[in-house]
Structure 1
Amino acid sequence: MTSPIHNFSEIGKLKTVLLKRPGHEIENFTPDMMPRLLFDDIPYLPKAQEEHDYFANTLRDNGVEVLYLEKLAAEALDAGGAELKDKFLEQMLTESGYATGATHDALKEYLASMNNQDMVNKIMEGIRKNEIDFVPTDLQSMAEDGDYEFYMDPMPNLYFTRDPSACIGEGLSINHMTFAARQRESLFNQIIIEHHPRFANQGVHVWRDRNHSTRIEGGDELVLNDHVMAIGVSQRTSADAIEDIARNLFKDSNYDTVIAISIPHNHAMMHLDTVFTMINYDQFTVHPGILGEGGHIDTYTLTPGQGEGEIHIQHKTDLKETLKDALHLDDLDLIPTGNGDPIIAGREQWNDGSNTLAIAPGVVVTYNRNYVSNELLRQHGLKVLEVISSELSRGRGGPRCMSCPIVREDLTK
């Protein structure tokens, strides 16, 4: 492995992963702000941190190197010096709604006075109006949400490191995310890839950058093997973004197949990995709620067309047959969330029973609260490592959502 990113499957032995330990951002908002920040509840921070540390230690105990987003971002800024810090602040303030003006100036002065780690932490936590000794004097600043408590919103979704970027092969997508609450997040990933000594100038391919109007998020991006991707057409990822990244992969990598899987566009099933994950060479979890009559679901297999940049698309409705064809398998084991019971499946899918993280072929990390799904996985021969989940699950994401694999061992089979 010569590249710092090496991820050619969903199931190869996990060697390096990117996490974000929950910080004050997950408590720095009120119930009235939850829709704006895409949260359904407010986790209890000490317990959430304890649970996340348990998750990280479970990975370490299984030979995984754990990197932290907040630390890498600060180290990248340290490496780039004062000029990069200024550029980063200008971009972050612009994307927070303050390209110019008195509020921009006050926020920049406040943040620039901090060391890089404190500054990164503060941006992630959000900046309340009572933190700065500043009285707006320009019309723009006085007119901006006068009763709103924050100058810069917290970023409570950051502990779901899967979404702002996705490592594919020896590169990654740095994603333009769907909702304003999350769009600033991938700026941290961009800074890390471009300036952190571990990644900068190391030949990392950016298959798609964040400078787009069309949307894609990492929870929809599944690396099935060294030449096949599956990407969800979902609430958070658009069809045109899938075609765009497919075009780039076909042009500059060995990837020759992208399976676009259409799932319901709603909050309960926001990403493909909330309803479908790969856990072994021939085993997948699947939420029965995404399958129509007869187990059908719309899939679109994208392959290179005849001319440069052209894409051939084949529509199918049998997910199992589509996967068997693409992965050259004789059969597949699709394991239903909640053992297919409509009540249990609905409850455990809501609590991310389908959102499993494979750390080796047939070895998965799951939330302990999804005990019916976990027992079924064991019955199908899987090794299940359960992590505690009472508070982390309030954020609507499971072990796969909370992890961005950077390096996996290549599959030998």
Structure 2
Amino acid sequence: MKPGINNYSEIGKLNKVLLHRIGNEIEGLVPDNFERLLFDDIPYLKVAQQEHDKFADLLRANDVEVIYYVDETVKALKDRKVRQEFIRKFVSESDIHSEAVKEALEEYLMGMTVKEMVEKVISGVKKSELDVKSNSLADYISSGYPYYTDPMPNLYFTRDQGACVGNGVSIHHMSTMARRREALLLQYMFKYSKSFAPDGTNLWYDYDQAYSIEGGDVLVLSDEIVAIGLSQRTTVAGIEQFAKNILDESTFQKILVFDIPKCRAFMHLDTVFTMVDFDKFTIHPEIEGPLQLFEITLGKDGNARFNSIQDELENILKIELGLPAVDLIRCGGNDAQAAQREQWNDGSNTLAIAPGTVVTYERNYVTNDLLDKKGVKVLTIPSSELSRGRGGPRCMSCPVNRDDL
């Protein structure tokens, strides 16, 4: 195992992974804020935590070191000045209009232990917790809303806020305000937690860059190729900036841009296909037809070169990965209803922890059976509550270190 950040594939033996144990932020979800906070339902917290713990325990049982967002952020914020800077930035990004409220919030958060503060930032600060009056019209209009700072219920999908690619980290500008501040935690982990990002770790994209990009759209297909989805939440300008940085400074030679439908069902690239073995992929049946791809490489002059590709996914993957054949395993198989049902519950969103060994939700039994018949070892976790957030095991994990293939 190489030290630090090392992630040159989707399937190499997983050594270290970043998770967030689902917490009290989920209790802030109500039907009135579902749409804005990107949920369709409310997970039952107690059971969701039990399910998440089983996920973490399964990873540990397979020799994976599990680290958590809260713990790593606490390490990053031990210095008082760094903590003050983080809190000011967090408050400034929390859509608060009254200076009196901002000052009271900063004082309130600084008065906590570091761990309490990090947990509070994630779970949200309620108006009932502060004895302060706002003189803002915007705050008056929203006076019925219980929070000064929104909770972060999507944080347990740790794939999106950032991605470890090669020997570097991409810290993302999230496309929605509901998720924007999640990546702020990762920015401070990158800067100040050496156990997470040792000195010399590259930075491919940063929180403060202008265009949105999210980690569910980033797939490391090989040590030379990164695939990115041009999706509902990842912009072409974000992709171009990421590509320029990583192609300039790493061993990666090519970025493949998959132009996928801009809708919730195809939210990220990893909701429509994931890699499970050297030559096997789980896929959403609706992407089997001709796909539009764009290839980004660097010319000898250091400038980006672009090429357009239109072909079947099977042919694209064979050519790009130099394989004689690939096996595309349909979510739900040939049963249209099973495909819709299991795609809704992230049947295509598998986490490979070694070549041909994946973690999936046990509820996707049709797809799991197909994977098993194709020779893929399937390790299942319960998901009655975790799945309500519309994300699978890959969404819930940010691989930090894998063995090279």
TM normalised by structure 1 equals: 0.95
- Alignment partner of 1:8 is 2:8: yes
**Residue 214 to residue 239, structure 1, CA distance change in 2 (3 Å):** same
2-structure distance, mates of 1:301, 1:319? 14
Identify the residue that residue 55 of structure 1 maps to in structure 2. 55
Q: Which amino acid aligns with 1:373?
A: T
Q: 1:33 and 2:39 equivalent?
A: no
CA contact (8 A) 2:172 2:183 kept: yes
Aligned length: 405
Given that 1:3 and 1:204 are in contact with CA atoms closer than 8 Å, whether structure 2 keeps it comes out as no
1:88 aligns to what?
A: 86
Could you report, residue by residue, the CA deviation over 1:310-341 in whole angstroms, capped at 9, with x for unpaired residues?
Answer: 22223222222221111111110011110032
> Corresponding residue for 2:101?
103
Residue 199 of structure 1 deviates from its aligned partner by: 3.8
Q: Give the aligned CA root-mean-square deviation in angstroms.
A: 1.4
Tell me which residue corresponds to 1:238.
235
Between the aligned partners of 2:139 and 2:284, the Cα distance in structure 1 is: 49
Give the corresponding residue for 2:142: 145
**Of 240, 253, 256, the match for 1:256:** 253
User: Structure 1's 203 and 144: CA in aligned 2 closer, same or farther, altered over 3 A?
Assistant: farther
Inter-partner Cα distance in structure 2 for 1:211 and 1:15? 29
CA distance in 2, matches of 1:73, 1:18: 12
CA deviation string 1:58-103 (max 9, x = no partner)? 000000000000111011101xx11101100000000112376011
1:8 aligned partner, one-letter code: Y
Contact between 2:98 and 2:136, CA under 8 Å: does it hold in 1?
no
Which amino acid is 1:190 matched to? Q
1:157-236 paired onto structure 2 within 5 Å = 157-199=154-196, 202-236=199-233
Name 2:75's counterpart in structure 1.
75
Measured after TM superposition, the shift of residue 3 of structure 1 is 4.6
User: What is the distance in 2 between the residues matched to 1:142 and 1:66?
Assistant: 40
138-147 vs 8-17, which deviates more?
A: 138-147
Residues 113-169 of structure 1: CA deviation (Å, up to 9, x unaligned): 101100000110011111212222x23574352221110000000000000000000
Deviations 1:234-288 (A, max 9, x none): 1111122112211111111111111111221111221111110001001111101
Identity of aligned residues (%): 49
Deviations 1:362-412 (A, max 9, x none): 00000000000000000111000010000000000000000000000111x
Structure 1: gaps (5+ residues): none
Equivalent of residue 128 in structure 2, options 118, 127, 130: 130
CA contact (8 A) 2:351 2:359 kept: yes
Task: Classify the secondary structure of the residue corresponding to 2:369.
Answer: helix
TM-score, structure 2 normalization: 0.97
Work out the CA distance in 1 between the residues paired with 2:50 and 2:139: 41
For 2:81 and 2:169, locate their aligned partners in 1 and report how far apart those are by CA, in whole Å.
Answer: 25
Q: For 1:318, give the aligned amino acid.
A: E
* Partner of residue 113 from structure 1, selected from 111, 121, 138: 111
- Does the residue aligned with 1:237 lie in a helix, a strand or coil? coil
